[in-house]
Structure 1
Amino acid sequence: MSTEARHGPITIEEVAAAAGVSRSTVSRVVNGSTSVSPSALESVQRAIADLHYVPNRAARSLASRQTQAIALVVPEDTTRFFGDPFFAAIVSGINARLTRSDYVLNLFIASDDPGDKTTSYLRSGAVDGAIIVSHHTSDTFIDRIAAAVPVVYGGRPVRERERDYYVDVDNVSGGRDAVTHLIERGHRRIGTITGPLTMPAGVDRLEGFRQALAAAGLEEGPVEEGGFTADGGADAMRRMLERGPVPDGLFVASDLMARGALSVLAAAGLRVPEDVAIIGFDDSPVATSVTPQLTTMRQPSFQQGEVMASTLLDILAGGSPRHVTILDTELIVRDSV
């Protein structure tokens, strides 16, 4: 006679007793948390296999009032979301981590929240937690979400608090390394096209640009805001050319904006890199789809998505993950410098 036939369904308490660990440790393993020691993980997995334990998702949800759902909130319009490869990489990383758990992902694209529709839904208990990516200074509605459910931010929050959890890339270092490379290649009149200065990523990459120039004793070249879109990059490049003089080196804070800038430079009869050397940021598929192919700063967007999801799962399982995780960028040299 099977164990289930003799005793009814195996409980999580029986698994914990067999593994010699606490009930909460078994719960963390079942929910895919990484805050479990290798030895405890092995013991729990062995007990689950020996006892033929099958987690009852519906019962767990009722007992804990959990929905087993996580929200990804992107305060952008649909054009930006579907047009920027950064978001595809982020979502892929989040999804890859969640497939190893019982949680499902709900996507909310909201450049604003008229009538508090999204906010009210997320505060109603419809999800257990949220990941918020690409937020701006004006996106105050996300504060009301963070007051209701655990939140992990993609990027440094615009109103950072000590208790916040976020996963970011080292944008200051990335901007600094990009401009340092231009300086090392002999460029002296260096400008930049920034991302939105309502976003920490835009501010931090500009700060890196300025730090590199200051360290080299160079004056700051032209600065134009481009908005992290190809059209924004093109418009910023036109303004820069109109105001003159033309820089001989240009740090563009995203590959999409660099694509827009390249098209304007070509139309003006300026060659890259002979007349203007360009470095982008992201190392997205855009970087290798343009001519010349972009030298760029690689940011690990897929990994960022995975780490954000892991952090939130740890929080929901009662763990104590790091509040701040900063990932490194890497210079990828191609043909535009």
Structure 2
Amino acid sequence: MKRPTIHDVAAAAGVSRGTVSRLLNGDRYVSTTARIAIERAIAETGYVVNRNARSLVTQRTGSVVMVLSEPHEKLFEDPNYSVMIRTAVRMLAERDMSLVMMVAGDDGDRDRVIRYVRGGHADGVLLLSTHAGDRMVDALVDTGVPAVAQGAVIGRENVIPYAAADDREGARQMTRYLVEQGRKKIATVTGPMDTPGGIQRLEGFTDVLGRKASKKLIEHGDWTQLSGESAMARLLERVPDLDAVFVASDLMAAGALSTLRMAGRRVPQDVAVGGFDDSSVAATTHPPLTTVRQPLARVAEETVRLLLALIDGERPESPVILPTTLVVRDSA
């Protein structure tokens, strides 16, 4: 069968080809009556927009690239990323736009991302888990393609708009709670110290404990469960009488719980454990995890909203910082 064309849609809708073209290219001034007739005609004829032809007219690709600056395996291990992906796919679909996922875990990956964006294949860039000093960020900014980040890009906070949860206050909430529970020797496992979550959650911890937050009570992880296991083991070796630990992500906290279990430490009787995120992991650990809920879906929505505004030529307010909530379960 012959593939339906824009002329077929116009004939079925009883409008001019120009009216159909204006609607397909996002013209807001097509009348409601014409819009309904055209949408019905598209459904009846089975017409599909030729994106290559549209791009020649609009100078838009109809796609956004999401760049995760982590090793490939983290995309599938950390449930937080799936929230961002689902939200972006839904919101972009409402604009008839597609999402392209790229992982920038090493120099070769980063070079491919830069070439892809420089090649004019994306209308915008969504940055996830970007690390300080990443040369890819400056290269992407130089392309002039609109870019936003979920979480601040350290050192580029005034260049790249972003949305985030209030990491520092969330860490304060958890640390204060552990203190209020009568815990005397509280340790922490941070995220990577070249990420905003790693830095700000440690800052919130030290805001509450002050001088009690000594170096021996601080260990570093990389957001993975395995790093939580090993960091907890190092803390127990160095501070065997610790009675609480604030872990900067639920996934790392799951690893910490595993190490404590193997060491024969009861949770929360011997050691209270607090996480951060309130991801799907938190309710499935044993015991269920007391954690800090960051509104992941709302952060994702605000991040995509910022990017769409930039693509439309607007200068949106940034940053967008959303509040966190303490969620008490059985681990603390």
Indicate whether 1:197 and 2:193 are aligned.
Answer: yes
The structure 2 residue matched to 1:100, chosen from 94, 101, 119, is: 94
SS at match of 1:153: strand
The structure 2 residue matched to 1:311, chosen from 306, 314, 320, is: 306
Stretch of structure 1 that moved more, 322-331 or 148-157: 322-331
Q: Distance in 2 between matches of 1:283 and 1:6?
A: 52
1:1-337 to 2 correspondences below 5 Å: 5=14, 7-10=16-19, 27=27, 46=32, 49=35, 52=38, 58=51, 59-114=53-108, 116-148=111-143, 149-214=145-210, 219-221=212-214, 222-337=217-332
Q: Distance in 2 between matches of 1:186 and 1:228?
A: 28
Q: Distance in 2 between matches of 1:2 and 1:321?
A: 40
Q: Distance in 2 between matches of 1:45 and 1:206?
A: 55
SS at match of 1:147: helix
Return the offset for 1:79.
1.2
Return the offset for 1:3.
9.4
Structure 1 residue ranges, 4+ long, deviating more than 4 angstroms after superposition: 1-6, 53-57
Q: Distance in 2 between matches of 1:254 and 1:208?
A: 14
Kept in 2, the 8 Å contact 1:4–1:10? The answer is no
User: Which amino acid is 2:32 matched to?
Assistant: R
Stretch of structure 1 that moved more, 59-68 or 140-149: 59-68
Q: Closer, same or farther in 2 for the Cα pair 1:4/1:263, shift >3 Å?
A: closer
Return the offset for 1:242.
0.8
Kept in 2, the 8 Å contact 1:296–1:332? The answer is yes
Q: Distance in 1 between matches of 2:197 and 2:224?
A: 14
Q: Distance in 1 between matches of 2:273 and 2:196?
A: 22
User: Which amino acid is 2:61 matched to?
Assistant: T
Return the offset for 1:52.
3.5
Unaligned residue ranges in structure 1 (runs of 5+): 16-22, 30-42
TM-score, normalised via structure 1 length:
0.85
Q: Distance in 2 between matches of 1:68 and 1:61?
A: 8
Return the offset for 1:176.
0.6
TM-score, normalised via structure 2 length:
0.86
SS at match of 1:193: strand
Q: Distance in 2 between matches of 1:212 and 1:45?
A: 59
Q: Deviations over 1:9-50 (max 9, x none)?
A: 31677x7xxxxxxx9xx64x6xxxxxxxxxxxxx87736536
Q: Deviations over 1:242-280 (max 9, x none)?
A: 111432111100011111111111111110000111110
Unaligned residue ranges in structure 2 (runs of 5+): 1-9, 43-47
Q: Closer, same or farther in 2 for the Cα pair 1:211/1:103, shift >3 Å?
A: same
Q: Distance in 2 between matches of 1:292 and 1:44?
A: 57
Return the offset for 1:146.
2.2
Q: Distance in 2 between matches of 1:65 and 1:316?
A: 12
Kept in 1, the 8 Å contact 2:291–2:328? The answer is yes
Q: Closer, same or farther in 2 for the Cα pair 1:247/1:309, shift >3 Å?
A: same
SS at match of 2:245: strand
Please provide the CA RMSD for this pair: 2.4
Q: Closer, same or farther in 2 for the Cα pair 1:48/1:318, shift >3 Å?
A: farther
